[in-house]
Amino acid sequence: MKRFYSYRLGEYHGNVYHLTVSGEPSINDVEDFSVTVHYFDEEKEEEIEIARIDTRHGGVHFDKLYRRDEPREFLDIEDYWEAEEMLMENWRTYAKSFSRR
């Protein structure tokens, strides 16, 4: 998937969280998308995804990556900007849950 854009959400427990929006085939004609909340782990030197809404696996669904044992939650949204808004508004809650695991 092509990365459309990414921006900083804020800081929590010393980590700087970002939101990234990717999709295909283009930003003006999105058929598939992925919107992800993540941070860079300095110690591991890698991006850590904590929450993602995407169109893989047969429909729009929410992967709570901080709860790997939970099944995917399918959502009644159609556009990536709805997914972006949901994650942007709640990223701190997901960061808190991720830090508690």
Rg (CA), the chain: 13
Per residue in 12-66, pLDDT (tens digit) is 999 999 999 999 999 888 999 999 999 999 899 999 999 999 998 789 999 998 7
pTM exceeding 0.85: yes
Pairing of strands 29-41, 15-26: antiparallel
Please state the separation of Cα 91 from the chain's center in Å: 9
CA distances from 85 to 14, 44, 47 (A): 24, 29, 21
Which distant-in-sequence residues (6+ apart) come within 8 Å of 101 by Cβ?
Answer: 66, 67
pLDDT digits (tens, 9 = 90+) for 81-90: 999 999 999 9
**pLDDT of res. 67:** 80
